[in-house]
Chain A
Amino acid sequence: MNDSKSLHSRIAKTVRDIPRSGIRDFFEIVSSREGVISLGIGEPDFVTPWHIREAASLALDRGVTSYTSNLGLLSLRRGISKYIEKKTGIYYNPEDEVLVTVGVSEGLDLAIRALIEPGDEVLYHEPSYVSYNPLIELAYGVAVAVETKKENDFRLTRAELEEQVTPKTKVLLLNYPNNPTGAALTKEDVEEIAAFAIERDLIVFTDEIYDELTYDREHFSIISVPGMKERTIYLHGFSKAWAMTGFRMGFTCAPPELTEAMMKIHQYSMLCAPVLSQEASIEALKHADEDIAYMKGEYKKRRNFIHSSLEEMGIPCIKPEGAFYAFADISKFGMTAKEFSLKLLDEQNVACVPGTAFGACGEGFIRCSYATGLEEIKEAMIRIARFIESL
């Protein structure tokens, strides 16, 4: 079987039907150029704090190189439980309600595969992180996008959910603070959505990976609403707040039945998360407050800078309340998001991701990440201003 066409036909239909990620296409174009300032990077520009890196190398020196329990090291799960209780007031038993995963990506995949049967509908809001739709489709679920709108600052509303919910809806997937819009929810927003989930008897998956990066008020988690812990899989990880993307460390907190169901898949597909990353994460939790406060302070200044610079040059942009993205409205320039991004890259060597990479309703927007050094952001803003002058 050397014929590539017939090989293609042997690939599972579900996989064939998944389109290539818009980000990957764009990445290839950007990679082929020199001198690009990239505002297209969805990970912190900080290096993991030194004490965490040292803990990882110390563990390696000690010869810690084995498998761990499927759920993850108990001491790490205890640390996670404490950390979550401190910020949400909700206790998860480290023995059977916490599962250490390989990034939030795996956690979400487990949650979806553990709960979704063919035809079950999953409500998720768009613009959204790129993996939600494909992961649902891969599990033979039906991904139902709920469009969030700029006039609501990209906050999900109950009315929008009511329009899309059906008797087949099983799960509501949330991601606030949001990638790519930078939107965050208020306590009232969260309570309204929680009431909807309870009334409709939905399971909620909440990806709160960016919760520590909420700039103007305290983040409020949906698990803190009474009656929600019982129906929620809470997803979190170390990538963003501790700048540990490459360690690939995430975790889920969920009632024992759901944790056990996810664990079944995890033990056969992944066995356990890498032990060195788990050791590093134990250390990360020990000094969580100091590490996070520093990085959050830096992001906040850049957030202020990028937002006022964009507004100043006449590109409307909601003030990002969380994560490290500004979702700028470029619709008035009469180009699609992709055309705008390519022309900006071509003429000024600045890379921003077209909003359409995050769903069709991202048309007219570009995502500018401010997880990049201040000097580069400054230069990028000068170049973007020059670019729109020339239009």
Chain B
Amino acid sequence: MNELLNLLKQNALETPENLAKLLGLSVDEVKQKIADYEKDGVIRAYQAVVNEEKLDASLVTTVIEVKVTPEIEGGFDRIADRISRFPEVESVYLMSGGFDLLLFIKGRTMHDAFRFVSETLATMPGVISTATHFMMKAYKQNGIVMHTGDDDERLKVSP
């Protein structure tokens, strides 16, 4: 994968000056490439990876497996798009295997998730069945290990 994108995926706040030094490019080249990625929709957004556990009122993440009936025209796209538009839905993936769509939704309480499933999702035309799981703990998210404070156990100076 592209080195510049990799660096931005690790740290989207990295300055163009530092990126240029790391990659042996000029600052202008880096800025231009980033602008191109943004324009072409390769980079869709810049977000913070939040360790919810550290927050006083952390959100509940629910993972839902959904079986749907694909439509004659559009297959899964139309229903997936419809589901995606709900603000509480964080991610939607089309999967192979025993179900079709995998949803990640965020809510303040389990009840929020329950209401979304029972009132919104299950009643949606085309949805055949759902299976709901509550996420208990995030160990690693977007490539970032959630616990902090790993000590460097190496000697401070070595040959």
CB contact list, A40-99 vs B, under 8 A: 40-43, 45
Tell me if B137 counts as interface (CB < 8 A to partner A).
no
The stretch from A5-13, A30-38, A116-124, A190-198 touching chain B is A30-38
Taken residue by residue from 1 to 37, chain B's Cβ proximity to chain A (1 for < 8 Å, 0 otherwise) reads as 0010001000000000010011110000000000000
Asked if residues B157 and A378 are in contact (CB atoms below 8 Å), the reply is: no
B156 & A41 in contact (Cβ 8 Å cutoff): yes
* Closest Cβ–Cβ distance, residue A45 to chain B (whole Å): 7
Which A-chain residue is minimally distant from B20 (CB atoms)? Answer: A308
A27 in contact with B155 (CB, 8 Å): yes
Given A301-B3, A304-B24; A30-B159 close (CB under 8 Å):
no
| Residue in A closest to B22 when the chains form the complex, CB atoms | A301
A318: Cβ under 8 A from any B Cβ? no
Q: Smallest distance from the beta carbon of B45 to chain A beta carbons, Å? A: 23
B 111-159 contacts with A by CB, 8 A: 152, 154-159
With contact pairs A301-B3, A304-B23 given, residues A30 and B156 touching in the complex (Cβ less than 8 Å): yes
B152: chain A residues at CB < 8 Å are: 45
Q: Does A297 make an interface contact (CB < 8 A)?
A: yes
| A contact residues, total (Cβ < 8 Å) | 29
Say which residue of A41, A302, A374 sits within 8 Å of B154 (CB atoms): A41
Q: Which residue of B lies closest to A22 (CB)?
A: B159
Q: Is the interface of B mostly helix, strand, loop or mixed?
A: loop
Q: Chain A, 296-335, contact with B by CB distance < 8 Å: what is the 0/1 string? A: 0100011011001100000000000000000000000000
Q: Is the CB of A304 within 8 A of B159?
A: no
Q: How far is the CA of A45 from the CA of B152 in the complex (A)?
A: 8
Cβ-defined partner of B157 (8 Å) among A30, A301, A302, A309: A30
- Verify A40–B21 contact, CB threshold 8 A: no
Bound CA span A316–B18, Å: 19
| Chain B minimum-CB-distance residue to A28 | B157
A26 to B159, CA, bound (A): 11
- CA A301 – CA B159 in complex, angstroms? 22
Q: A45-B152, A351-B157 are in contact. List 11 more A-B contacts (CB 8 A).
A: A23-B157, A23-B158, A40-B157, A41-B158, A130-B159, A131-B159, A301-B7, A301-B22, A301-B23, A302-B22, A304-B23
List 10 A-B pairs, minimum CB-CB distance, nearest first: A40-B157, A27-B157, A301-B22, A308-B21, A305-B21, A130-B159, A30-B156, A42-B158, A304-B24, A38-B156
27 A–B contacts, CB within 8 A, in A order: A21-B159, A23-B157, A27-B156, A27-B158, A31-B157, A36-B156, A38-B156, A40-B156, A41-B154, A41-B156, A41-B157, A42-B158, A42-B159, A45-B152, A45-B154, A130-B159, A131-B159, A301-B3, A301-B7, A301-B22, A301-B23, A304-B22, A304-B23, A305-B18, A308-B21, A308-B24, A353-B157
B residues contacting A by CB (< 8 A) are 3, 7, 18, 21-24, 152, 154-159
